[in-house]
Structure 1
Amino acid sequence: MEAAFLYIKSAIFPINLELLKLKVIYFLFYSSLFSSMPYVSIISTQIVNYQQLSIIFSCATVISTVGPIVTGFVADKLGIYKPIIITAGFIMGFIQLPILWLESAHKIHVAERNETVQLAGNATLAPSSNAAVPRDYIFPILLMIRIFGFIFMDAAMTLLDAAGLAMTKKHQGDFAKQKTAGFLSMIFIPILCGLLIDAISDKLGYKDYSIAFYIGAGFIVILMPILYRMEVEVQMNKQSIISTAKKVVGMIDVDVFLLAEIFVGFCMGFHMTFLSVYVDAELIASKTLYGLASSCGGISAVISLSVAKPIIDRLGEANTLVFGLALYSIRFVIFYFLQLSICYTNNGSEQLSWNPWILIVTESLEGFCGFLGITTGSYFCAAAAPPGMLASLNGILAAATFGLGRGLGTAVGSILISSYGIRSTYLLFSILSGSIAILYLTAYHLVLKKMERRRLALTQPERGEVTVANVNGDSSKGDIEATVL
């Protein structure tokens, strides 16, 4: 614990001013995301149906899979990171605001439909619509907003990580420490937004999520001048993306590992998207409680980043990945059984209740599921990458987890929720993640470990380094420093 405390302390109070600037950038960037992202999901489920949501997330899957690879390759070819980050980050911060406009229009349509039903019995014509957006246009407009939101968010996140890697390498820093500052925002911002939403909604007499969107946009405004003063020095990439892809496809054990990482992103994307919906619909809980649960997830993420390296050194990359998937399986099955119960007050009336601490405990393990799994992937890619392919392999990892995995998780989750409900969907995801954990663990120890050792033995002369196998059979390289993405 002392080592973890010193790690976090050094991450928050650095000496290098450029790295301090990078930490502030990460904090503001992720603060903007954690402010509005949960409520974008809630509003989307209220103004369109789950079949339409599945279309949105299917588009997001394609964008977030191809986007990080293409964006990184183009930025490397042009040698410009900062202008793209500033442009994409600014648009990302404001493009979600029109969703509030769509929510308002949807409420008007619902009210007018109810009024029409009431007037129909009296043979009176319904009044003309006062909504700014016609009902049939709500879904197409939402689809365009979400598509462009995903495009610019993925571009900004991909290049911000690339810039962070370049800066930490130049200043001999630790990239994981810089990104820890970003996840610190996950501790404070969700609960702050939850408190403000509950307070404003109680005063207005109806749910109003707008403050979360305005806070997110405000963080982006503060971020822009700091980004402008960020110093990033990068070299143009002379390798083609085709040659890089051919090398990756030829490494079977790496391909299977990345396939397992897709399911980490699959579970993470589903849970991060629909947790707020689950709390709102199934537990009928306040936004303050949701914010508290999200904050616990942020604390867990910070802790997992602090102790990831010792865990991976102890268990090995493959076993650590399996641990994260198994933990997802356990947590998701808890969500299936977490139900409201009926209790009786002193006057004998019935009241629905549940133990909120169960939700807090499950969310406190989030860092050791998705975040630890993705961190494990970065260490694995650092060990497996041939010379000159470390950044490319990490980019493919990002596309696999945050792109294909996250997109499939949200899209499939939407379809299953529309058919079976969100509670049963959590159970199905629990079965899936547990099955993948067992399958990958079996395949690794029976086949993939031997393939990995054979591949590493063949690449040793090319690397000019010594491969050291740990007690769990996984390999690490003495001259490669793993970068946590």
Structure 2
Amino acid sequence: MVFERINKKLVSVKAHYFFNNAGTAPVVPFLPTIAKQLGFSPTEVGGLYTILPVAGMLAKPACGALADRLRLHKLLFLMAIALTALTFFATSFIPESSEPPMTNVSLDCGVETNIRVHGGSSDCARQRLVENSGNGTVQCHLSCDPLKVNGSWSELCQSWNISEYCSGMENSKGGPDTLVPDKQSTGEEDVLNKLEFTVEVPLHHTLLVDSDLFFRVSRATFHNGMTIIPYCNAWMSMECGLTCNSLKVSEAIATAPIYGNADERERGSLFWIFGALVLVAWVGMAVTVSIGDAICFEVLGDRPGDYGRQRLWGSFGWGAFAALAGFLVDQWSQGQTQKNYTPVFYLAAGLLIIDFLNSTRLRHSEAKMSASIARDVCRLFLEFRIIVFVLWCVAIGLCTGLLWQFLFWHLEVLAGEQDNCAVVDWVKTLEGLVMAIQCFLGEIPFFFLSGWIVKKLGHENTMSLVLLAFGARMILYSLLTNPWYVLPIELLNGLTFGLAYATMTSYASVVTPSGTEATIQGLVGAVFEGVGVSLGSLLGGIVFEKFGGTVTFRSFGIAALCAFVLHGAVNYFFLKGNRPHNSPAFQKPGDIGETTYYSTPSEAVRILEGNDSYSARKPILMSSS
């Protein structure tokens, strides 16, 4: 603590972690839902999130190596922060599709006409709509396919007197029930005209039968202004796409949306713009993290064990401003059918500008440079303990990817299975509490204690502890029946993220050859996120879709426990006391002819926190010239 009081440079380091995480928190958690509101399909969004970690994996070591080679760490660091702020802010100007996604429904016409919604994503939303429908009237837009008709299309034409849609009908099979409307020539192919019109739906007639919703249609209006009271002398039904101007109705009818009803070229252009901006922002964040950590360790000097005390301020920023952003979105969206994310983009931009200004005050030395970065890094990765470390990074990345992508999904599935709809009503509040506990009661204490824990246990034993915590955490998730019971489990996030991240970055720092700091931090981040998190998201999604959350989390938990046993065995039998004194790669500073000296990362932390001089004892990787 005395070190922190006299080293004023750490104030700017702490402020960077706080403002950078606070600036990304208002946007990053909401990007998938923003993409959904823009009208992009789950497949499109999933494909984008497969590319993002790979882009980060490539950007981190590439920019880290560039910073080490050109000794431009601070310049690239500031450029990455500015790039992130600019692209996040630009994302707020992407317009929504001209037409919202539609829901598959059936239009049943008889003595009265009803819209039938088959099932839905939320039983509670449908139940609330029926119980609290009131006397209001909702306007909905229908786009119906004349070729997907059960019954007589000609009956609809005659009963509704819609000659515009029925004139020039062709009888393809010789019977009146096989009549189809004209096709419109585009010069390349014939496009079938759809039957599109607007209907008025009085909500007090809404019925819920089993899992199907029925909306009574009181009036239908066509684009030429003609209005009718729809009915049919003989029953018929056809498939349609439905959108309504009511948020509570939209929530109740949400099933499998029909994407692409808007102009395909317009939607495709929006997706590419959105994807490009998010990709650039993701690269900016990745570079900021990797070079920022390298700068932090350079500022810390001979006290790498204090990294966690700097990084915990990032958790403060993330936890506080992620919760604030959710509140602002809800406040700005009152009375609207769509969420208004404008305030979070302005909030993020403002915080990242503050981070940029603060980071210009960081005092970073660019003096160190390895004579051969590639050779030094390759020699480092020939060490057996480094190979084990890399595999450990992949393992915790796999588990982290599953948690980041599917924990909230699992909780919402559990909430939907409860008899009490209040659980569903408060599930977003629960998710906010989960994030708060993860940050304030999990990450922050363990970031603060990480140096002490690593000093007591050593890096290798701490890595085993992280795997054990991951195994326990995921098996506990698989045992959940009520989603609210997840809250005490989130205390383990301190071990599985706070301690894990501090261990990963500090281990990389103490084994890093002089002059390759940003390169190694970039490689470690690339392995963790680009390989581990990406594979965890992919494998987790496949298992989750086929077997559900319980089986997914249990299988990952068992795998993590097996990795814990294996890592512990390797650590005990192969790494314990393993000091490669004869390794030509590691040599004590000084004359080339001096005796080779090597310290394990665990021992290095003890040396650094002891009375020995860091400059005389830090293991470095010498390059032959």
Query: Which residue is equivalent to 1:29?
Result: 20
1:249 pairs, out of 372, 381, 384, with 381
Query: Which residue is equivalent to 1:90?
Result: 82
**How many angstroms apart in 2 are the aligned matches of 1:386 and 1:111?**
58
Gapped regions of structure 2 (runs ≥ 5): 106-139, 150-155, 157-164, 166-193, 198-222, 224-260, 416-423, 589-594, 619-625
Deviations 1:187-223 (A, max 9, x none): 3122222333344445535544443333222211333
2:436 pairs, out of 295, 302, 306, with 295
**How many angstroms apart in 1 are the aligned matches of 2:404 and 2:586?**
43
CA contact (8 A) 1:35 1:212 kept: yes
TM-score by length of 2: 0.63
Query: Which residue is equivalent to 1:227?
Result: 359
**How many angstroms apart in 2 are the aligned matches of 1:118 and 1:469?**
70
**How many angstroms apart in 2 are the aligned matches of 1:189 and 1:317?**
32
Amino acid at match of 2:195: L
2:141 pairs, out of 89, 106, 115, with 115
Q: Which deviates more from structure 2 when the two are superposed, residues 225-234 or residues 22-31? A: 225-234
Query: Which residue is equivalent to 2:292?
Result: 160
CA contact (8 A) 2:21 2:318 kept: yes
CA contact (8 A) 1:374 1:401 kept: no
**How many angstroms apart in 2 are the aligned matches of 1:432 and 1:22?**
37
1:215 pairs, out of 347, 353, 362, with 347
1:57 pairs, out of 28, 49, 63, with 49
2:490 pairs, out of 334, 349, 363, with 363
Amino acid at match of 1:462: Q
CA contact (8 A) 1:465 1:477 kept: no
Deviations 1:89-130 (A, max 9, x none): 122124245656668328724379983445857666338977
Verify: 1:402 aligned to 2:537, yes or no: no
2:279 pairs, out of 126, 137, 147, with 147
1:72 pairs, out of 61, 64, 73, with 64
Amino acid at match of 2:48: I
Matched ranges for 1:426-437 at <5 A: 426-437=553-564
Verify: 1:380 aligned to 2:481, yes or no: no
**How many angstroms apart in 2 are the aligned matches of 1:404 and 1:468?**
29
What is the deviation of 1:243? 0.1
Verify: 1:337 aligned to 2:479, yes or no: yes
**How many angstroms apart in 1 are the aligned matches of 2:324 and 2:568?**
40
Query: Which residue is equivalent to 2:327?
Result: 195
Amino acid at match of 1:455: P
Query: Which residue is equivalent to 1:126?
Result: 196
List, as ranges, runs of 4+ consecutive aligned residues in structure 1 with deviation greater than 6 Å: 111-114, 127-133, 170-173, 464-470
What is the deviation of 1:154? 0.9
**How many angstroms apart in 1 are the aligned matches of 2:102 and 2:66?**
45
1:449 pairs, out of 547, 551, 576, with 576
CA contact (8 A) 1:54 1:410 kept: no
**How many angstroms apart in 1 are the aligned matches of 2:465 and 2:32?**
28
Describe the SS at the equivalent of 1:104. Answer: coil
**How many angstroms apart in 2 are the aligned matches of 1:106 and 1:433?**
46
CA contact (8 A) 1:34 1:189 kept: yes
CA contact (8 A) 1:41 1:277 kept: no
1:318 pairs, out of 440, 454, 460, with 460
Describe the SS at the equivalent of 2:102. Answer: helix
Higher relative contact order (CA 8 A, sep 6+): 1
**How many angstroms apart in 1 are the aligned matches of 2:92 and 2:145?**
29
CA contact (8 A) 2:466 2:499 kept: yes
**How many angstroms apart in 1 are the aligned matches of 2:412 and 2:93?**
21
Q: Which deviates more from structure 2 when the two are superposed, residues 114-123 or residues 328-337? A: 114-123
Amino acid at match of 2:437: C
Query: Which residue is equivalent to 2:246?
Result: none
**How many angstroms apart in 1 are the aligned matches of 2:443 and 2:512?**
26
Deviations 1:213-243 (A, max 9, x none): 3322221133333233444331262433320
CA contact (8 A) 1:88 1:155 kept: yes
Identity of aligned residues (%): 19
CA 211–106 in structure 1, closer or farther in 2 if over 3 Å, else same: farther
**How many angstroms apart in 2 are the aligned matches of 1:430 and 1:45?**
31
Deviations 1:348-381 (A, max 9, x none): xxxxxx452x222222221211221232233433
CA 116–100 in structure 1, closer or farther in 2 if over 3 Å, else same: farther
Amino acid at match of 1:336: S
Deviations 1:158-196 (A, max 9, x none): 222223333343999944333222222133122222333
1:81 pairs, out of 65, 73, 86, with 73
TM-score by length of 1: 0.79
Q: Which deviates more from structure 2 when the two are superposed, residues 311-320 or residues 457-466? A: 457-466
Deviations 1:392-424 (A, max 9, x none): 444432222233222332343344444444554
Describe the SS at the equivalent of 1:250. Answer: coil
What is the deviation of 1:30? 0.7
**How many angstroms apart in 2 are the aligned matches of 1:468 and 1:162?**
21
**How many angstroms apart in 2 are the aligned matches of 1:171 and 1:256?**
25
Query: Which residue is equivalent to 1:4?
Result: none
What is the deviation of 1:23? 1.9
Amino acid at match of 1:248: L
What is the deviation of 1:456? 5.2
What is the deviation of 1:41? 3.3
The number of aligned residues is: 454
Verify: 1:259 aligned to 2:391, yes or no: yes
**How many angstroms apart in 2 are the aligned matches of 1:209 and 1:23?**
28
What is the deviation of 1:74? 0.5
Amino acid at match of 1:315: L
Query: Which residue is equivalent to 2:446?
Result: 304
Deviations 1:328-364 (A, max 9, x none): 222223333334xxxxxxxxxxxxxx452x2222222
Describe the SS at the equivalent of 2:301. Answer: helix
Query: Which residue is equivalent to 2:116?
Result: none
Query: Which residue is equivalent to 2:540?
Result: 413
Deviations 1:129-156 (A, max 9, x none): 7779733445444432332222111112
Verify: 1:438 aligned to 2:565, yes or no: yes
CA 374–104 in structure 1, closer or farther in 2 if over 3 Å, else same: same
CA 112–419 in structure 1, closer or farther in 2 if over 3 Å, else same: closer
CA 307–228 in structure 1, closer or farther in 2 if over 3 Å, else same: closer
Q: Which deviates more from structure 2 when the two are superposed, residues 107-116 or residues 148-157? A: 107-116
Amino acid at match of 1:333: I
RMSD: 3.9
What is the deviation of 1:66? 2.4
